[in-house]
Structure 1
Amino acid sequence: MNSNATVFVVDDDSAMRNSLKWLIETVGMRVETFASAEEFIKSYYPGRAGCLLLDVRMPGMSGLELQEYFAEQNITIPVIIITGHGDVPMSVRAMKAGAVDFIEKPFNDEQLLDSIRSALEIDQDQRVIQAERAEIAARLAQLTPREHEVMEMVTNGKSNKEIASALGVSAKTVEAHRARVMEKMEASSLAGLVKMVIAANLYKDH
């Protein structure tokens, strides 16, 4: 687990914030606490490793509104919702919006810590995937428009002859483009190139 990962606690109840901070720090995790969603937004910058422990019902911006704000900004940080019994329907909404867990008050300490560990693992996995996609995007940026065309046709199962016919060039020219695509994409096989193209499409969607 990332040693720089931080558990961000956002709760308007000072006693709850202090209790959570103490509990999480007893197992050696970093903690930062905030009294409101607005306070958290001001101090947080995207890219920090960690997870968010979030109270649903708070004055000002609610937990759900903070979650929606992050979704609009394309900020991906795993969210654990802390809820009172009356907030369960809201928490279900939060889960549908992508929260990784919701914990009802009063909660079991070990259950909460397990949930935090899972959220931090999710964050770490997401970072690995994002780094891989960024690397693939950088390789794609090196391709010429014609190389992009050839790559698309190759990964769609077209033969060199079919590609040559479609583009109005010789098969040798297609072979040359194909070799440059493999080199620039650092692909050792066609299967490897296909995997990268799939990952690149995911990259564009996010």
Structure 2
Amino acid sequence: MDETKQLIVVVEDDAGVRLALQRLLRASGFRTLSFESAEALVTAAGASNASCLVLDVQLPATSGPMLYAQLGRHRPPAVFITAHDGPATRSEVANAGGKELLIKPFIARDLLDAIARAMCAAKRP
């Protein structure tokens, strides 16, 4: 495994979407880890080495924005994804510190661009 590749961690409860995201990211040159819930990510301490997180907003139990807020100050940048756009969702993501939100279905290029923007913004002082 090439350790120089950046690690993208996906948290998505829909197994088909999770697998599709992993395939896209791997084909785009990233290493990936994926989890079906926020709790699974926390249990595995999966966010600690991530370059970026891709978080579904509507996860069972702990939502994507709740998870991101709980990760604290030293968290990787994140791209949030949702099928349920609206002012409440946008507010929840923004209040958790999220800057990137994509509405499902989205095209692959939009996700890759959002990841690049999120990682670039995280490098700025």
User: What TM-score, normalized to structure 2?
Assistant: 0.85
Corresponding residue number in structure 1 for 2:19 = 18
Corresponding residue number in structure 1 for 2:76 = 77
- Compared CA separation, residues 88 and 103, structure 1 to 2 (3 A): farther
- Compared CA separation, residues 60 and 108, structure 1 to 2 (3 A): same
Which one has the largest radius of gyration?
1
Amino acid at match of 2:98: A
Please tell me the root mean square deviation across aligned C-alpha atoms, in Å: 2.2
Corresponding residue number in structure 2 for 1:62 = 63
Deviations 1:97-152 (A, max 9, x none): 321200000001101111112223334x26xx6xxxxxxxxxxxxxxxxxxxxxxx
- Larger strand proportion, structure 1 or 2? 2
Deviations 1:164-188 (A, max 9, x none): xxxxxxxxxxxxxxxxxxxxxxxxx
Q: Which structure's relative contact order is higher, taking Cα pairs within 8 Å and 6+ residues apart? A: 2
Say how many residue pairs are matched.
123
> Alignment partner of 1:32: what SS?
strand
User: What TM-score, normalized to structure 1?
Assistant: 0.54
* Rounded Cα–Cα distance in structure 1 between residues aligned with 2:48 and 2:108: 28
Corresponding residue number in structure 2 for 1:111 = 110
Cα distance, 1:28 vs structure 2: 0.8
Structure 2 spans left out of the alignment, 5+ residues:
none
- Compared CA separation, residues 111 and 86, structure 1 to 2 (3 A): closer
Deviations 1:69-107 (A, max 9, x none): 113xx3321111101134552233212432120000000
* Rounded Cα–Cα distance in structure 2 between residues aligned with 1:46 and 1:33: 10
Structure 1 spans left out of the alignment, 5+ residues:
130-206
**Structure 1 runs (4+) greater than 4 angstroms displaced:** none
- Larger helix proportion, structure 1 or 2? 1
Sequence identity of aligned pairs in percent?
A: 30
Corresponding residue number in structure 2 for 1:92 = 91
Amino acid at match of 1:41: V
CA contact (8 A) 1:84 1:104 kept: yes
* Rounded Cα–Cα distance in structure 1 between residues aligned with 2:105 and 2:46: 31
Amino acid at match of 1:105: K
Amino acid at match of 1:42: T
